[in-house]
């Protein structure tokens, strides 16, 4: 998908179409997630500190992500891909590999191009957005082709032309070549893919080690035998959430981990799998990412067992400074379930303790309620937070989105994805009872017709 988050926001907001849009964290430590092509002309790009982006493009619209919308659109796109082939390997919300041969929809260059053109048309019809397609004999080359095709294009790397296509390019286009490896190769005088091939495998192994050097040399020769691995055949199932604002409350962090564990088990059961290793992922306020894992006595798909394991893993992670991302996964997948009786017993004991705690809490709440009534009479009102870009609905003016807020007021532009012109803007008090948060509207109005074969 092309500039996915920013393109989705432009499609949802007629007033932003054709304008610079930057999506990411808006706080002091915010980072750009996606920039529209209009914003990229000013040098704004993903992973850039938001403060730097604002200096480069002060006139752009800066919005926090709406992951609910992006996931919905992603599911639509992945559904289109699965109509082409049973072998679809998602890389992220907006990118996936598809084995067209396994789907028996392409058998030569002409048929592959026809499938690519139809896919791009279907994506636009179903989502209102554009995507770019790379066609090649391997995953590495298809990925390079899709990048070359952006925005809204299609590139076919014909068999026999692979080395000529990638040879003059920077070493950074190859999988596994990040800034550190790129600098290491540059110091050795290797700047292009062709120069990697010329250096030879022995030199690459000397510079980078056996595994990395041999792998990189094969890639430089356009050799990539990695198969497309469908979700059903994946080695793990996981879910994660990135938060608009860092979470500092330890109680809330625990609650989020429990919720993610339940979602992970839902996906596990939907895939008719079980797993024996529970993995916790935590990205902290400083972007350091920690993973912790625990291997159970046997594979399970019991939500209580996974929740309990994830909670134990969380106890070993310091979240004092705040949390940006949390994830829970299960690996070591199997097609059967061997319940962990010890874990189940511990889970039952935990539920018993929870029942006692709840009874005590209910008793304490009676006393707390009395003092709370007295406090409410003199307490300062809590100001509602309205995040730039998020959806709202007003009882009189209908659906809209937050343009900004501050000094006790919130500015809303009332428009929908289906409008052809920008909507009107109005300002309200932040605690206006007629203004409430809302779910994102679909980018395409009404039922989408099924494409003819």
Residue numbers annotated as active site:
95
Q: How far is residue 100's CA from residue 105's CA, in Å, rounded to a whole number?
A: 6
DSSP 116-157: HHHHHHHHHHHHS----EEE-SSHHHHHHHHHHH-SS-EEE-
Nearest to 347 by CA among 381, 375, 307: 307
Structural tokens at position 7:
């393109």
What are the φ and ψ backbone dihedral angles of 227, each rounded to 5 degrees?
A: -80, 160
Helix (H) or strand (E) holding 11: helix 4-12
Contact 38, 59 (CB under 8 A): no
CA–CA distances in Å: residue 233 to residues 255, 262, 268, 273, 331:
30, 21, 12, 10, 12
* Strands (DSSP E) found in 189-344: 236-247, 274-284, 289-300, 323-334
- Residues with Cβ within 8 Å of residue 18, at least 6 apart in sequence: 10, 38
What is the DSSP pairing of strand 391-394 with strand 323-334? Answer: unpaired
Structural tokens at position 296:
């159970």
Count CB neighbours of 278 within 10 A: 27
């Amino acid at each position: 998908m092309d500039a996915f988050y920013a393109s989705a926001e432009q499609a949802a907001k007629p007033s932003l179409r054709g304008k610079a849009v930057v999506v990411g964290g808006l706080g002091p430590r915010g980072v750009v997630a996606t920039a529209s092509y209009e914003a990229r002309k000013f040098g704004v790009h993903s992973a850039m500190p938001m403060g730097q982006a604002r200096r480069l493009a002060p006139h752009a619209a800066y919005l926090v992500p709406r992951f609910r919308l992006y996931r919905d659109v992603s599911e639509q796109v992945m559904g289109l891909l699965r109509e082409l082939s049973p072998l679809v390997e998602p890389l992220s919300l907006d990118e996936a590999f598809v084995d067209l041969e396994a789907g028996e929809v392409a058998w030569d260059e002409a048929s592959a191009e026809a499938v690519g053109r139809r896919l791009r048309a279907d994506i636009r019809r179903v989502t209102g957005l554009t995507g770019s397609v790379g066609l090649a004999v391997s995953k590495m080359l298809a990925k390079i082709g899709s990048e070359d095709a952006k925005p809204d294009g299609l590139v076919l790397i014909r068999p026999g032309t692979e080395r000529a296509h990638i040879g003059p390019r920077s070493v950074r286009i190859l999988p596994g070549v990040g800034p550190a490896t790129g600098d290491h190769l540059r110091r050795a005088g290797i700047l292009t893919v062709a120069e990697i091939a010329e250096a030879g495998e022995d030199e690459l192994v000397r510079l980078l080690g056996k595994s990395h050097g041999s792998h990189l040399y094969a890639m430089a020769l356009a050799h990539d035998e990695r198969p497309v691995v469908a979700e059903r055949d994946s080695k793990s199932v996981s879910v994660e959430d990135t938060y608009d604002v860092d979470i500092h409350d330890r109680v809330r962090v625990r609650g989020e981990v429990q919720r993610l564990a339940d979602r992970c088990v839902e996906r596990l059961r939907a895939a008719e799998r079980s797993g024996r290793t529970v993995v916790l992922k935590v990205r902290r306020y400083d972007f350091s990412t920690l993973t912790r894992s625990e291997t159970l006595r046997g594979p399970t798909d019991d939500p209580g067992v996974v929740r309990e394991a994830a909670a134990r893993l969380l106890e070993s992670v310091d979240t004092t400074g705040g949390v940006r991302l949390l994830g829970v996964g299960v690996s070591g997948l199997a097609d059967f379930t061997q319940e962990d009786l010890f874990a189940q017993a511990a889970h039952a004991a935990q539920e018993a303790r929870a029942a006692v705690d709840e009874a005590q809490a209910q008793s304490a709440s009676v006393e707390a309620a009395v003092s709370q009534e007295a406090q409410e009479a003199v307490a300062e009102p809590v100001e509602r937070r309205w995040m730039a870009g998020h959806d709202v609905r007003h009882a009189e003016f209908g659906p809209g989105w937050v343009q900004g807020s501050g000094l006790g007021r919130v500015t809303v532009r009332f428009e929908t994805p289906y409008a052809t012109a920008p909507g009107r803007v109005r300002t309200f008090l932040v605690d206006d009872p007629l203004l409430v948060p809302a779910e994102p509207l679909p980018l395409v109005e009404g039922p989408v017709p099924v494409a003819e074969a």
